[in-house]
Amino acid sequence: MNQDNILQEAFSLLNMIQKPEKVSILFNIDCLLPNEIKNEQVIAFYNYLKSKGYFLFLISNEIGTVEKVEYIKKLLYNNNIRDHIELYMRKTPNQNLSQYKLRVRKGIQEKGYNIVMTFGKSIHDFGKFSGFGFLIL
């Protein structure tokens, strides 16, 4: 399925599901900025979701050094990816990706948010607490 069809399917699903309280969507930042190149369609979808009141979370595989966090925040801001609830980054390079992402999703859920959809680039982005999963290649 190409990216246009994936985003259309995601849009259709959002319109069909009953909207729980604090409905949230999780994006792997590589879906928005793969290799630091704008992904216009996914960014437009992100901003559409933001305009509709969805709570948006971002997750990265990157190690959250001070320099890297500032660099990514600037990159997101410059590409009009703003007003997300939180940006999650790994603490150490030896963290298991699947466990790290599961802990993040579980933590979001424990804060009272309901993740109904996740956009990711690898199998690590999906699983328990991810809602509907969309693989963006």
Instruction: Give residue-wise pLDDT tens across range 101-116.
Output: 999 999 999 999 999 9
Give the pLDDT band of residue 34 (cuts 50, 70, 90). Answer: low
Q: What is the pLDDT of residue 109?
A: 95
Name the residue range of residue 92's domain.
25-135
For residue 77, being part of any structural domain is answered with: yes
% pLDDT > 70, the chain: 92
- Give the count of domains, the chain: 1
Residue 13 lies in a domain: no
**Residue 20 in this model has a pLDDT that exceeds 70:** no
What's the CATH number where 86 sits? 3.40.50.1000
**pLDDT tens digits, one per residue of 70-95:** 998 898 888 888 888 899 999 888 88
Residues 6+ apart with CB under 8 A from 27: 42, 46, 56, 57, 58, 59, 118, 119
Q: Please give the model's pTM, rounded to 2 decimal places.
A: 0.85
